[in-house]
Amino acid sequence: MPVKNLDTATDQVINAMIRADDAAKRFSRRVDLRRAPNQWAFFGGVLNKGENLSVINLGLGVGDRLIVGGGDNFARTLHLELDDNSGRVLKRDPKNSPVSVLDYGATGNLHGLRIHNTDATGPAVVLMGLFDIR
């Protein structure tokens, strides 16, 4: 997988975060990269069409969160899904887009996060980022 594909996927996530941050500023808020002890804020991999990537036992803390998924130019449609720790879907992004975004009011429980590479023209670099809305 060419390194440029990672650049493209990263750009998708960062640009969605910038748009969300611009919108949050209208309410005197901001979007920050998720900070928590022993907790990652970015996840990713290479997925074929129809595959998904899951992360479990995510500590989202308490407060407003933004979750963004993005892919390279091979990813046509990505769907994010946020689950409770038992696997029950709490929220999903139904848009058919190469960028998927969820906002969520976290209450301190553990969660699972999944990104589906629903439609792609080839193996795609896919990333998920977790952000705090402060």
Q: How many domains does the chain have?
A: 1
For residue range 29-57, what is the model confidence (pLDDT) as tens digits? 999 999 888 888 999 999 999 999 999 99
What's the mean pLDDT when you consider all of the chain? 94
Are 68 and 128 in contact, with CB atoms under 8 Å apart? yes
- The pLDDT of residue 85 is 86
What DSSP letter does each residue of 59-105 carry, written as one string? E--EEEEEEEEEE-TTEEEEEEEEEETTS-EEEE----BSEEEEEEE
Are 31 and 20 in contact, with CB atoms under 8 Å apart? yes
- Full domain range(s) for residue 99: 3-133
**5 phi, psi to nearest 5 deg:** -65, -35
* 49: CATH: 2.60.120.380
